[in-house]
């Protein structure tokens, strides 16, 4: 008999039906030479500290770091889980071979391998690896079973991830709780959750310490079109009024009028993060809820495997595209326009190099029925996005007009959609005219109405779930370009399948809270990050690099032994540094007394030791330039800012670095 083990009872039922294993037994199906059983997700977990050493049961600084010589697994303490495992264990001993039918991803591999390991399986192992649960996909998958050993590196990466989370979570949580907790409060620290919380807390401080500045912009209205002066921001009202006076009574002259046809490409197909981002923006769904709805659509055979981090399809999918489009009958008004023609094949959609285990999330072509409102919304987004990539580009006309008043240049731009192309699938989003402008002629002149607009600089925006997911994907870096974001995914915080759970964990532990769509750090979360000054725990970039190492294990570029050695060293150093109160901190320390720095009031970063007389400060705004925390860190680390700026009241109008020495000199004068 061949034993198939699925990850859920519903999937096992589908597989059993297709294989002809129609007899229901207690905990499995039987028939046609197959047993088909299942897990309930994770049946096993890594052992607790006291399972290795009784000394580790009590929380004590003396027991840290806890580094087991070899990690072990155990069954979760649940009657239903124990009963199901016993069923699988008996079948493993009696079967001829095992087919791993778990979810086709790192977590799915880990779940199944742990169960087989605990069941002491020595039977030949095959792997069912599919991206869809349709009958066609399952049959094709069984015709092309893979050797189980082909996925050993995937399992190794999953094991290293679990071990890394255990090592850092168990040690750091006890370490910071014992050192800084008090009143019985546990300070929960984790490899992914802490840098995510640190990003939210840093944004909180940036907003709280933000001082709005007033500036002015010179505009004028000519032929009912608003033109902006190309000088940009004007620092004072007096300078603005001088400019208004200089053009008063002058005629506006059109210096150039240019119309260029351009195109807008269809958006990329969805990976898990991008569908979570869009659902949060358009429907207010949380990342966790979106993942749940996509997972339900997958289990209902309506969409392909959801836990993916690619927006591309492999070339072998192209011949199936027409068939999928033909089955999408609810969208017949759109699909009819492309089925009769040669279906577009773009490198921005089909690229084997950008697809590893799975392709982007797309509909399977099965008819959607009995869906909840949210499931319909998510299915509609996936289906429209899929159809749109085979539509023509959207053709637009970009208009740019340059006008002159005295020696000042003014500019206005507009856009007009000439042919909607793929945007036809999104009529509501295209209902507004995109700044269509009348025709102008070079050299024409006329009266205008100048105006000086007073404006104020705005603080950074609070994270929403959508923007937080993007920040986790790019390790905290602001990246708007799709191509660049794709390149940075390897260094993101966490994986697409785990980010929603990390965010929910922070909510559950009261470190963050929702205020409408905004995600705001609580006083508990702010206090925790204030106590942690370790780059290892707080830096999104360092955590992203660690994530890259886990991916390297998956591809064979890094040995698991190397990762574990580095992990042991990291945890040992962290414990030592915290015990001795010498955490490696960012943004660096006070250059005068070597203590840490904090935001001091609403105007500057100041020394933590100010109560004992240290008066060192870095102003938030220096000679008209607003310094970010990153630039403050650069000042302290290198003595100058990373970027060059044009300083107010400077003898030179050229951009220059701001030096720490100059700031200190001004303060001492």
Active site amino acids:
305
Assess whether the previous peptide bond of 587 is cis (omega < 30° from 0): yes
Tokens of 220: 């004028």
Bridge partners, 2 (sequence order): 34, 97
The answer for residues whose C-beta is within 8 angstroms of residue 94's C-beta and 6 or more apart is 1
- Give the rounded distance of the alpha carbon of 63 from its chain centre: 36
Q: Where are the alpha helices (DSSP H) in 250-372?
A: 272-283, 287-299, 318-327, 332-339
Nearest to 357 by CA among 293, 271, 469, 297: 271
Backbone angles phi, psi at 387, to 5 degrees: -65, -40
- Other beta carbons within 10 Å of 85: 21
CA atoms of 634 and 640, how far apart (whole Å): 6
Kind plus residue range of the DSSP H or E element containing 46: strand 44-46
Tokens of 72: 């072990």
Give the strand pairing for 97-101 and 125-127. parallel
CA angle 113, 117, 118 (to 5 degrees): 120
- Other beta carbons within 10 Å of 595: 16
3-state secondary structure of 608: coil
3-state secondary structure of 434: coil
Tokens of 389: 């990539």
Which DSSP state fits 181?
I
Tokens of 656: 């220059």
Which DSSP state fits 303?
B
Bridge partners, 403 (sequence order): 254, 410
Tokens of 203: 């944004």
Tokens of 533: 């000054």
- Give the rounded distance of the alpha carbon of 65 from its chain centre: 31
CA atoms of 51 and 300, how far apart (whole Å): 40
CA atoms of 4 and 98, how far apart (whole Å): 6
Dihedral (C-alpha) 539, 540, 544, 546: value to the nearest 10 degrees? Answer: 30
């Amino acid at each position: 008999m061949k034993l198939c083990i699925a990850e859920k009872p519903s999937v096992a039922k589908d597989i059993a039906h297709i294989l002809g294993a129609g007899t229901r037994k207690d905990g499995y199906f039987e028939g046609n030479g197959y047993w088909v059983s299942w897990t309930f997700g994770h049946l096993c977990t890594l052992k607790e500290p006291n399972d290795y050493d009784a000394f580790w049961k009590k929380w004590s600084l003396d027991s840290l770091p806890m580094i087991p010589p070899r990690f072990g697994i155990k069954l979760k303490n649940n009657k239903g889980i124990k009963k199901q495992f016993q069923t699988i264990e008996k079948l493993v001993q009696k079967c001829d071979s095992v087919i791993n039918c778990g979810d086709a991803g790192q977590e799915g591999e880990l779940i199944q391998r742990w169960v087989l390991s605990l069941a002491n399986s020595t039977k030949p192992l095959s792997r069912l690896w599919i991206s869809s649960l349709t009958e066609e996909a399952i049959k094709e998958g069984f015709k092309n079973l893979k050797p189980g050993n082909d996925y050993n590196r995937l399992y190794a990466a999953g094991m290293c991830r679990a071990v890394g989370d255990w090592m850092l979570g168990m040690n750091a949580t006890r370490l910071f709780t014992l050192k800084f907790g008090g009143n019985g409060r546990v300070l929960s620290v984790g490899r992914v959750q802490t840098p995510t919380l640190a990003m939210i807390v840093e944004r909180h401080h940036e907003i709280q310490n933000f001082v709005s500045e007033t500036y002015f912009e010179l505009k004028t209205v000519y032929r009912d079109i608003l033109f902006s002066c190309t000088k940009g921001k004007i620092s004072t009202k007096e300078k603005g009024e001088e400019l208004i006076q200089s053009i008063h009574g002058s005629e506006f002259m059109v210096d150039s009028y240019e119309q260029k046809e351009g195109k807008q490409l269809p958006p990329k197909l969805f990976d898990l993060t991008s569908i979570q981002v869009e659902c949060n923006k358009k429907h207010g769904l949380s990342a966790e809820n979106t993942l749940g709805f996509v997972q339900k659509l997958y289990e209902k055979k309506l969409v392909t495997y959801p836990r993916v981090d690619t927006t591309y399809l492999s070339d072998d999918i192209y011949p199936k595209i027409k068939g999928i489009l033909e089955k999408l009958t609810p969208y017949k008004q759109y699909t009819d326009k492309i089925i009769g023609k040669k279906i577009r094949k773009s490198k921005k959609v089909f690229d084997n190099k950008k697809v590893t285990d799975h392709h982007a999330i797309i509909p399977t072509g099965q008819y959607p029925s009995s869906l909840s409102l949210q499931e319909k919304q998510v299915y509609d987004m996936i289906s429209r996005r899929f159809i749109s990539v085979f539509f023509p580009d959207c053709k637009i006309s970009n208009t740019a007009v340059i006008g002159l008043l005295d020696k000042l240049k003014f500019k206005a731009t507009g856009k007009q959609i000439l042919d909607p192309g793929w945007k036809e699938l999104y009529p509501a989003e295209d209902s507004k005219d995109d700044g269509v402008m009348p025709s102008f002629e070079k050299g024409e002149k006329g009266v205008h109405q100048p105006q000086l607009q007073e404006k104020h600089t705005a603080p950074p925006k609070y994270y929403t779930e959508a923007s937080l997911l993007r920040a986790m994907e790019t390790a905290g870096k602001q990246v708007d370009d799709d191509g660049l974001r794709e390149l940075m995914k390897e260094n993101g915080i966490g994986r697409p399948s785990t980010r929603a759970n990390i965010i929910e964990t922070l909510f559950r532990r009261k470190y963050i809270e929702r205020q409408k769509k905004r995600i705001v750090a609580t006083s508990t979360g702010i206090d925790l990050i204030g106590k942690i000054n370790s780059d290892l725990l707080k830096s999104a970039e360092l955590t992203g690099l660690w994530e890259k190492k886990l991916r390297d294990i998956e591809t064979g570029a890094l040995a698991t032994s190397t990762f574990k050695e580095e992990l042991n060293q990291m945890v040992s150093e962290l414990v030592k540094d915290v015990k001795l109160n010498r955490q490696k901190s960012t943004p660096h320390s006070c250059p005068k007394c070597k203590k840490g720095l904090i935001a001091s009031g609403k105007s500057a970063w100041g020394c933590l030791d100010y109560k004992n007389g240290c008066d060192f400060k870095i102003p938030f705004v220096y000679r008209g330039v607003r310094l970010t925390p990153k630039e403050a860190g650069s000042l302290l680390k290198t003595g100058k800012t990373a970027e060059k700026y044009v300083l107010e009241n400077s003898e030179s109008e050229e951009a220059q670095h701001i030096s720490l020495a100059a700031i200190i000199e001004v303060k001492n004068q």
